[in-house]
Amino acid sequence: MEVTQPTLFVDKDKVLKNIEKMAEKARESKVLFRPHFKAHHSADIGEWFKQNGVEAIAVSSMDMAEYFAENAWKDITLAFSVNIKQIKRINKLAEKIDLGLLIESQEAVDFLEKNLTSPVNIWIKIDTDYHRTGIHWDNEAVLSKLLRNIRDIEKLRFVGLLTHSGHSYYAKNICEIEEVYADTVIKLRDIKERLFLQGFPSIKLSIGDTPTCSVISDFSEVDEIRPGNFVFYDVLQLELGVCDESEIAVALACPVVAIHEDRNEIVLYGGAIHLSKDSIYREDKTYSYGLVALPEGKGWSKSLKETFVKSISQEHGIIKTTPEIIKKIKIGDIMYILPIHSCLTANAMKKYFTLDGKELNYNVKC
């Protein structure tokens, strides 16, 4: 396949290994593996999950939920606080599949009671100190009242408490990631036990973030895990220490359009609209927008030493490299960028190919 413009490639073998590894961890812990599909948005990649026995998924938008329902997924949790403005679409989808919704307010409960036409599964969104959203885990009074009201509504089938420990992404090492997981579980189990004493005997616990799910082996203290980014991994996960570079399964192929040997810089056709503007702050007080590799076989090589994307604008990507490497590069060559945040790169590109050149089905609405 000839690359003439920024093109996102997926290494299927790496993806399958990543899926198999996470699925096996869930099986060993006897928990439900409900992967979050916001990372890939692809029905074709969804089929790869089914090969590992996955039957339940999480998504982050109604567009995604509808897309995967159209592609034969029957158990979908919309893992984003319910948007009551989409009630018509919620009702239509709930007629067809086992739909899960997130609740964190009495207002949402009241609205659903009046407007739902089909039963849905209800998770209460819990804040375990990430502080993005959700009811704080220690707010027993609010949680208890909300649960009692949900229990009285026939179409709201309460399932459990759901959280996302996004602060794991700010950890500095593996030990801190393990501490985030342990702290999250302690808080969830604490409020679960307190609610049990108030007459709520059946409460499941759902956690989901790639750093903790990649590092932890035993999930037996929860009921389901919802990692998403692990399917591709990326440079951020590499920096956190939760994956090897060999597990990064996507790379953006970009043509070289200019070379500036005087400052050891290479200009690519591939910028912010392709990669996103997520970056990592380096030890030398510069920013990196991606690691750089060369074509190798059907895919890409290990990342080049002392070489990274130092800046990006709309279509431009500027690589900082060494005199030795720059002498080997010519105008028109293809270089591969390992993205900082693969989820955003995939969403920006809205199209990708296997290493054999097969285009994968992608939900362009997302």
pLDDT digits (tens, 9 = 90+) for 310-324: 999 999 999 999 999
Nearest one of 356, 300, 271, 347 to 63, comparing CA atoms = 347
pLDDT digit string (tens) for 258-301? 999 999 999 999 999 999 999 999 999 999 999 999 999 999 99
Q: Could you tell me the two tokens for 310?
A: 């130092």
Residues of the chain with CATH 3.20.20.10: 74-227
Read off the pLDDT of residues 31-59 as tens digits, 9 standing for 90 and up: 999 999 999 999 999 999 999 999 999 99
Q: How far is CA 106 from CA 100, 148, 149, 346, in A?
A: 17, 11, 8, 36
Tens-digit pLDDT profile for residues 329-343: 999 999 999 999 999
* Single-letter code of the amino acid located at 169: Y
Please give the DSSP secondary-structure letter assigned to residue 304: P
- Residue in 31, 86, 16 with CA at minimum distance from that of residue 230: 16
Residue 287 has φ and ψ, to the nearest 5°, of -105, 145
Q: What's residue 266's pLDDT?
A: 98
> What does CATH list as the number for 74-227?
3.20.20.10
Q: What is the CA radius of gyration of the chain?
A: 22
As a whole number, the mean pLDDT across the chain is 97
* Percent of the chain residues topping a pLDDT of 90: 99
Q: Running DSSP on this structure, what letter comes out for residue 260?
A: E
Please state the pTM of the whole predicted model. Answer: 0.96
> Quick check: 365 pLDDT over 80?
no
pLDDT computed for residue 366 by the predictor: 64
Q: What is the pLDDT of residue 333?
A: 98
Closest CA to 48 of 232, 257, 176, 302: 232
DSSP string over 111-172: HHHHH--S-EEEEEEEESS--SSSEETT-HHHHHHHHHHHHT-TTEEEEEEEE--GGGGG-S
CB neighbour class for 334 (10 Å; exposed up to 12, middle 13-18, buried from 19): middle
Say how far apart CA 332 and CA 3 lie, in whole Å: 10
Both tokens of 9, joined, read 């490639």
β-strands 290-293, 295-296 pairing: unpaired
**CATH 2.40.37.20 domain range(s) in the chain:** 245-354
- pLDDT tens figures, 181-228: 999 999 999 999 999 999 999 999 999 999 999 999 999 999 999 999
Instruction: Report pLDDT digits (tens) over 155-173.
Output: 999 999 999 999 999 999 9
Where residue 233 falls (left for φ over 0; alpha for ψ -120 to 50; beta otherwise) is left
Cα 320 to Cα 330: distance, rounded to the nearest angstrom: 15
pLDDT digits (tens, 9 = 90+) for 16-29: 999 999 999 999 99
* CATH architecture of the domain covering 245-354: Beta Barrel (2.40)
What integer is the mean pLDDT of 87-113?
98
Instruction: Check whether 114 has a pLDDT greater than 90.
Output: yes
pLDDT score of 141: 96
Residue 364 has pLDDT above 90, yes or no: no
